[in-house]
Structure 1
Amino acid sequence: MATSGRRPRIGRQYAFSLRNLSVCFGLIAIVVFGVGVTVRAAGGATGAQPAAAVAVGLLTLLAAVVMRHRRTAPASPEEDSLGAADFEAMTASEFEQAVADLCERDGCRVSRVEGGAGDLGADVLATAPDGQRIVIQCKRYDSTHRVGSQDVQRFGGTCFAVHDAQIAAVVTTSEFTKPAAEYATQCGILCIDGQELATWASTGPAPWTE
Structure 2
Amino acid sequence: MLLEQLSAYKELGIGLIVLLLLLVLIIRGMIRGRRNRILRDLDPRKIGIQDIDRMEDGSEFEFYLQRLLSALGYKDIYKTTSSRDFGADLVFTDREGARVVIQAKRYAVQHPVGLGAVQEIYTSMRYYAADKSIVITSGRYTESCKTLAAVNGVKLLDRNDLEDMIDLFKSKRREEVMDVIESRAEVIASKWSEK
User: What code does the residue aligned with 2:53 have?
Assistant: E
Deviation at 1:110, TM superposition (A): 4.1
User: What code does the residue aligned with 1:205 have?
Assistant: V
Matched, 1:205 2:177: yes
Structure 2 counterpart SS, 1:82: coil
Query: Equivalences for 1:7-22 in 2 at 5 Å?
Result: 7-8=39-40, 9-12=42-45
Residue 93 of structure 1 contacts residue 115 of structure 1 at CA under 8 Å; is this kept in 2? no
User: What code does the residue aligned with 1:139 have?
Assistant: K
Change (3 A) 1:148 1:130: same
Task: Name stretches of at least 5 consecutive residues in structure 1 with no aligned partner.
Answer: 13-80
Change (3 A) 1:95 1:163: same
Deviation at 1:84, TM superposition (A): 4.8
Higher normalized contact order (CA 8 Å, seq sep 6+, divided by chain length): 1
Question: Counterpart in 1 of 2:132?
Answer: 167
Deviation at 1:105, TM superposition (A): 2.1
* CA distance, structure 2, for counterparts of residue 179 and residue 106 of structure 1: 32
Q: What percent of counterpart residues are identical?
A: 26
Select which of 123, 130, 133 maps to 2:96: 130
Question: Counterpart in 1 of 2:123?
Answer: 157
Residue 101 of structure 2 contacts residue 121 of structure 2 at CA under 8 Å; is this kept in 1? no
* CA distance, structure 1, for counterparts of residue 182 and residue 51 of structure 2: 24
Deviation at 1:178, TM superposition (A): 0.7
Select which of 178, 188, 203 maps to 2:143: 178
RMSD of Structure 2 on Structure 1 (CA): 2.2
- Structure number, greater radius of gyration: 1
Matched, 1:148 2:114: yes
Task: Name stretches of at least 5 consecutive residues in structure 2 with no aligned partner.
Answer: 1-30, 169-175, 184-195
Q: TM-score, normalised by structure 1?
A: 0.59
Deviation at 1:85, TM superposition (A): 5.1
Matched, 1:95 2:61: yes
Q: TM-score, normalised by structure 2?
A: 0.64
Count of aligned positions: 139
Matched, 1:194 2:184: no
After TM superposition, which residue ranges in structure 1, 4 or more long, deviate above 3 angstroms? 81-85
Deviation at 1:116, TM superposition (A): 2.3
Residue 107 of structure 1 contacts residue 128 of structure 1 at CA under 8 Å; is this kept in 2? no
Deviation at 1:163, TM superposition (A): 1.5
* CA distance, structure 2, for counterparts of residue 173 and residue 165 of structure 1: 23
User: What code does the residue aligned with 1:116 have?
Assistant: S
